[in-house]
Amino acid sequence: MTVSEVRRKYLDFFQSKGHIIVPSSSLVPENDPTTLFTGSGMQPMVPYLLGQSHPQGKRIVDSQKCFRSQDIEEVGDNRHTTFFEMLGNWSLGDYWKEEQLSWVFAFLTKEIGIPKEKLSVTCFEGDEKLGIPRDTESAEIWERLGIPKERIYFYSAKKNWWSRAGVPENMPVGEPGGADSEIFYQFTQVVHDPAFGEKCHPNCDCGRFMEIGNSVFMEYRKTENGFEKLPQRNVDFGGGLERITTARNDSSDVFTIDVFAPLIQKLAELSGKNYTDTAYTHSFRTVAEHLRASVFLIADGASPSNTDQGYFTRRLLRRAVRHLDLLGIGADTLSSLVEPVVSAYTDAYPSLPQKSDVITSEIGNEEHKFRKTLDMGLKEFSQMAEKSLDKMLSSADAFMLFSSYGLPIDMIKDLAPEKGLTVDTSGFEKELENHHVVSRAGLEKKFKGGLADTSEMSVKYHTATHLLHQALRDVLGDEVGQKGSNITPERLRFDFSFGRKMTDEEKKKVEDIVNAKIKADLPMQRVVMPRAEAEKSGALHFFGEKYGDEVSVYFIGDLLPTAYSKEFCGGPHVTNTGVLGTFKIQKEEAVSAGVRRIKAQLM
C-alpha cells in the first residue's frame, strides 16, 4: 500500500465519522517565537486544546507536515526520519475513549488491513501520589476490541503521559495534560536482541516493535495542590504516516515505502551500488531522507542559510553531499534528485510542482557552494591536525570546521583517524547547543511583540502588508504573489515573487498607492465564507495550498466585490486604514531566484 493510499483512507475514514478535514500547516510556524519548526501534529492545535473554539467545529482530522531537527544524527537506521507526516484526529470536548480507540483500531485493522495479531498497546499505570488513577478504562476497551491481556502493557508517566512540559512533575500550574495509550506494531521477523534486555516488550529498543500511533486523553490541569479535571476533555491522536505505511506492508525498513523507492533507485543507478549492501545502506538512507526533508523545508520558505530554519536546511544538504561522495556519485547531482520527491507528493501537495524550479535551483546552488568551501575546510583541518599537540581536535576547532566551512561532524569524525586524531565530540555538542540557543533567541527577538501577542503595532503592520501586496500587483503586475512575511513592532518584511530588482520609480508608486489608501481611511472587514465563493471573489491566497471548506477573508473597502484588497487571512487587523500612519519602504532586495523582499516601516 502506498503513502497516498494510507493518507487518503485515514482522512476519508474520519471524515465519515463527522470530522472536518483541515490542511497541513507550514513547517515554518508563522509568528511563533517558541519554536523553529512544526514538530508535531498537535502543535498547530494547541489554542483549541486549551479551550479556544475551532472555526471548523469539535471534530478535526488532518495530515500535518512535521520536521524534527533533533533526529538528524539518528538518520541512517531503518526508521528515523527528520521529515514526516503526522496523521491526526481531534475531539475538542466531544467524544472520548470508547469512540477514539474503537475508530483508530477499525482504521488500522479494517481500512488498511493490519492484522490485529501484530498489534500491542500500552496504557498509563497511574500515579497514586498525584491522585491520578490507573487507566483501566482504555485497557478494558482494548480487550473488548480483541487485544488480549498479554499484549496490553502498563507504563509510568515517562512513557504514557502527555503534556507540553513532559511528565506531571515538570508541568507548570495551569498546564493541561493526560494519560495516553500507544499502539505498537510487532515485526515478528525481527529477532529480539538480548543486549536490550532479557525480554522484549513494546518499548524495547531492539527494533522488533515500532510505535505507529498514540491517543492522548487530555482531562487534567495542574494546580497548586495537584491536579483537577478540565471542564473540556479533549482527544488528540497522532500516528506517523510513514510508519503506519511501513507496518501495513510488514517491512521493518521505512525506506522501502513508495515515496523513497524512486530516490533509492536513482541513487543505485548513479552509484552502481546496491541498497542492500550494508556498507552503503546508511548513505542511501541519509541522502534520500535529507533530500526529501530539504525539498519540503525550502518549499515552506526555509532556504539554506547560516541562521534560523535555513541553518538546518543547509546542514541536511551538506550531510547529503557527504554521503553522495561515500556512494561514489559525482558532483552537482543532488538537484537531479528533486523531481522524484516532487512527483511522489504532487497529489497531496499540489503547490510543490509550482515551486520545483526554485527548489531545484536552491539545492543545486547549495551543493556548488559547499563543494567550493569543502576544499578550504579540508586544508584548514590539515593545518589544525599539524598544530595539535595532544592528538585531540578541540571542540572549538571542530565547531569552526562545522560552522565556518560547513563540514558535517560525521565527516570530521571520519577524517580525524586519518591524522591520528580523536574529536572532542561532547564539547562539540555543547558548542552546537549554544549555537541553537543563540538561534532561538534571535528568532524570539524577531518576533518580540509580533502577531503572537497581537500588539498594536504588529496588528498595524499586518494590515499594511495587505495594502503593500495589492499595491505591488497594481504596479508590477499579477505575477506578484506573497512568498512569506515577518512582522515585528518595528517593521514589516514581505517576500514576493518577481523576477528583477524594482526601480526607484516603481517603489515610489507603491508607496504612494499605500499612503493614498491609508489617507482614505478605508474600513478593514472580515467575512467567513465557502472557499469556492472566496476564490470566485478574487481573494488572494497562496496558490496550490490547501484550505478548509470555510475560509476567513479580510477585505479593505466598503463591500467585498469592490474592495481594494481581499485575502484569505486569519487576522488580526485594525478596523480602519487611517490609523496606520505614513508607509515608507526602507529596502528592496533579492532573497533567492525569482523572490524579492521589501522591508518597510510606518512613520
**pLDDT of amino acid 432:** 79
Can you say whether the dihedral through the CA atoms of 282, 283, 285, 290 is positive or negative?
positive
Q: Write down the mean pLDDT value for the chain.
A: 90
Same domain, 352 and 419: yes
φ, ψ (nearest 5 deg) of residue 443: -65, -40
Q: Note the pTM of the prediction, 2 decimals.
A: 0.72
Instruction: Write b or e for each residue in 61-97: b if 16 or more Cβ atoms lie within 10 A of its Cβ, otherwise e.
Output: bbbbbbbbbebbeebbebbbbbbbbbbbbbbbbbbeb
Which residues constitute the domain of residue 589? 451-602
**pLDDT of amino acid 475:** 96
Mean pLDDT over residues 23-41, rounded? 79
CB 218 within 8 A of CB 123: no
pLDDT digits (tens, 9 = 90+) for 180-222: 999 999 999 999 999 999 999 999 999 999 999 999 999 998 9
Same domain, 317 and 423: yes
Cα–Cα dist 118/114, whole Å = 7
Q: Residue 51 gets which letter from DSSP? A: T
Same domain, 400 and 503: no
CB 327 within 8 A of CB 271: yes
More confident residue, 39 or 545: 39
CB 32 within 8 A of CB 447: yes
**pLDDT of amino acid 489:** 83
**pLDDT of amino acid 59:** 96
Same domain, 219 and 263: no
- 397's enclosing H/E stretch is helix 395-404
**pLDDT of amino acid 403:** 73
Same domain, 56 and 134: yes
Same domain, 248 and 263: no
**pLDDT of amino acid 446:** 45
Mean pLDDT over residues 333-358, rounded? 95
Given a cut of 50, whether residue 434 has pLDDT beyond it is: yes
CB 183 within 8 A of CB 214: yes
More confident residue, 274 or 55: 274
With a pLDDT cut of 90, the percent of the chain lying above it is 62
pLDDT band at 41 (very low <50, low <70, confident <90, very high): confident
Given a cut of 80, whether residue 447 has pLDDT beyond it is: no
CB 179 within 8 A of CB 124: yes
Grid cell locating 574: 485594525
Same domain, 87 and 229: yes
More confident residue, 11 or 374: 11
Same domain, 170 and 282: no
pLDDT digits (tens, 9 = 90+) for 92-110: 999 999 999 999 999 999 9
Same domain, 143 and 19: yes
In sequence order, what are the beta bridge partners of 61? 21, 89
Mean pLDDT over residues 119-123, rounded? 98
CA distances in angstroms from 342 to 28, 287, 333, 348, 350, listed in the order given:
19, 16, 16, 10, 9
Same domain, 162 and 76: yes
Given a cut of 70, whether residue 445 has pLDDT beyond it is: no
pLDDT digits (tens, 9 = 90+) for 457-490: 888 999 999 999 999 999 999 989 888 888 888 8
pLDDT digits (tens, 9 = 90+) for 150-183: 999 999 999 999 987 889 988 888 888 999 999 9
pLDDT band at 550 (very low <50, low <70, confident <90, very high): confident
pLDDT band at 378 (very low <50, low <70, confident <90, very high): confident
Same domain, 397 and 423: yes
Mean pLDDT over residues 135-144, rounded? 98
Mean pLDDT over residues 126-135, rounded? 92
**pLDDT of amino acid 435:** 66
**pLDDT of amino acid 33:** 62
pLDDT band at 67 (very low <50, low <70, confident <90, very high): very high
Grid cell locating 235: 482527544
Burial class (CB in 10 A: 0-12, 13-18, 19+), 128: exposed
Our count of domains for the chain comes to 3
- 186's enclosing H/E stretch is strand 176-186
**pLDDT of amino acid 32:** 62
Q: Pairing relation of β-strands 392-393 and 226-240?
A: unpaired
pLDDT band at 453 (very low <50, low <70, confident <90, very high): very low
Cα–Cα dist 432/316, whole Å = 15
pLDDT digits (tens, 9 = 90+) for 215-245: 999 999 899 988 999 888 999 999 999 999 9
DSSP assignment of 110-173, as one string? IIS---GGGEEEEEE--BGGGTB---HHHHHHHHHHT--GGGEEEE-HHHHEE-TTSSGGGPPT
**pLDDT of amino acid 250:** 96
Mean pLDDT over residues 377-384, rounded? 89
pLDDT band at 439 (very low <50, low <70, confident <90, very high): low
Same domain, 411 and 468: no
Of 255, 281, 311, the residue at which a domain comes to its end is: 255
**pLDDT of amino acid 596:** 92
Mean pLDDT over residues 362-383, rounded? 88
Mean pLDDT over residues 534-554, rounded? 78
**pLDDT of amino acid 450:** 36
Domain containing residue 485: CATH number: 3.30.980.10
Mean pLDDT over residues 502-507, rounded? 96
Burial class (CB in 10 A: 0-12, 13-18, 19+), 470: buried
Of 211, 232, 255, the residue at which a domain comes to its end is: 255
Cα–Cα dist 327/284, whole Å = 8
Can you say whether the dihedral through the CA atoms of 247, 342, 266, 329 is positive or negative?
negative
Domain containing residue 242: CATH number: 3.30.930.10
Helices (H), 252-337: 261-271, 281-299, 308-326
Of 395, 421, 447, the residue at which a domain comes to its end is: 447
Q: Looking at the chain, how many residues does it have? A: 603
